[in-house]
Amino acid sequence: MRLTKRFSLLAAAVAITASTAVFAAPTFINVLTGGTSGVYYPIGVALSQVYGNGIEGSKTSVQATKASVENLNLLQAGRGELAFALGDSVDDAWKGIEDAGFKAPLKKIRAIAATYPNYIQIVASKESGIKTLEDLKGKRISVGAPKSGTELNARAIFKAAGLSYKDMGRVEFMPYAESVELIKNRQLDATLQSSGLGMAAIRDLASMVPITFVAIPEEVVTKIGSSAYQARVIPAGTYDGQDQDVPTAAIINILVSHEGVDDEVAYQMTKLMFDNLPRLVNSHSAAKDIKLETATEGLPIPLHPGAERFYKEAGVLK
């Protein structure tokens, strides 16, 4: 009898311990960003720190990736909880555009917020003589990793301008920092970067080499035929030696999650981001364009229910 009672008490203790372990399991939040020299990465690091401090029991991490396309495919596979991606890539992912890097529609992805715009920034060394899009013919250019958001932007811009990769002297598919190093070493003439303004790689290049920014005229942006692309301007003085406004195209960035993320976690991720915008701005000035009133505009995919709850509470949605 006494032995039976001991076993019963032991079983109860094991059950309580197991139950406590389940409830105490950490909430993993892996933030998928981009290359470490871009804008996604520093803002992603700041977000992970905000979530680590603000979401009880959370265990956060930041993953440097090839950005938009890779991030969205990783989310669909459940290998991340939050990701940065360009709006046109998010649209392509939802539709399953294979040529854009999506073998099937990614129907698990959900929006957290529209954030800041990526500007298409085409930078050439001054000695290359490149001043216009037409001048890129026969030149050596880098357009980002294959089928990355940046590379898809490059295809769209060149097509609208009546150009193709075949017109170039050589096309390299390389990330930001590597592209800049090749220009410094005179192994490339130009690079197309899709990023927030003031990105580190271009700042670095501008401080080392005389450069020229190539304008993308408004009529070219219109010819792309996608509402994801807007005519914008890179303001004078954004980079060293850039003393004039540069017409270009911009695409909104979207923070994306997936349907497997708990509603309460998605709610907290959304709320904490807007509660800590100054901290994000400290990580990179591009975050100045993240605004609550525009966070639900132009989203090509459904909002995560947790994010939707936040926006209703904040009065952004009815």
Kindly report, residue by residue over 52-85, the tens digit of the pLDDT: 999 999 999 999 999 999 999 999 999 999 999 9
Helix (H, G, I), strand (E, B) or coil at 166: helix
> How close are the terminal C-alpha atoms of the chain, in Å?
64
Average pLDDT score, the chain = 91
With a cut of 70, say whether residue 173 has pLDDT above it. yes
Q: What is the residue extent of each domain of the chain?
A: 28-116+253-313, 118-251
pLDDT at 24: 55
CATH architecture of the domain with residue range 118-251: 3-Layer(aba) Sandwich (3.40)
Tell me whether residue 173 is exposed, middle or buried, using C-beta atoms within 10 angstroms of its C-beta: 0 to 12, 13 to 18, 19 or more. middle
Closest CA to 54 of 317, 269, 309, 299: 269
Which pLDDT belongs to residue 18? 41
Q: d(Cα 258, Cα 48) in Å, to the nearest integer?
A: 17
Please tell me which residue, 23 or 179, carries the higher pLDDT value: 179
Q: What confidence score (pLDDT) does residue 147 get?
A: 79
Give dist(CA 127, CA 89) in Å, integer: 34
- Separation CA 285–CA 281 (nearest Å): 5
Question: What's the mean pLDDT in 195-219?
Answer: 94
Q: What is the CA radius of gyration of the chain?
A: 23
Q: 148 pLDDT band (50/70/90 cuts)?
A: confident
Just give the CATH number of 28-116+253-313. 3.40.190.10
The pLDDT value given to residue 14 = 45
Instruction: Dump pLDDT digits (tens) for 10-61.
Output: 444 444 444 333 445 789 999 999 989 889 999 999 999 999 999 999 999 9
Helices H / strands E in the chain, number of each? 11, 10
Answer whether residue 86 shows pLDDT above 60: yes
What average pLDDT score do residues 136-147 get?
Answer: 93
Topology agreement, domain 28-116+253-313 and domain 118-251 = yes
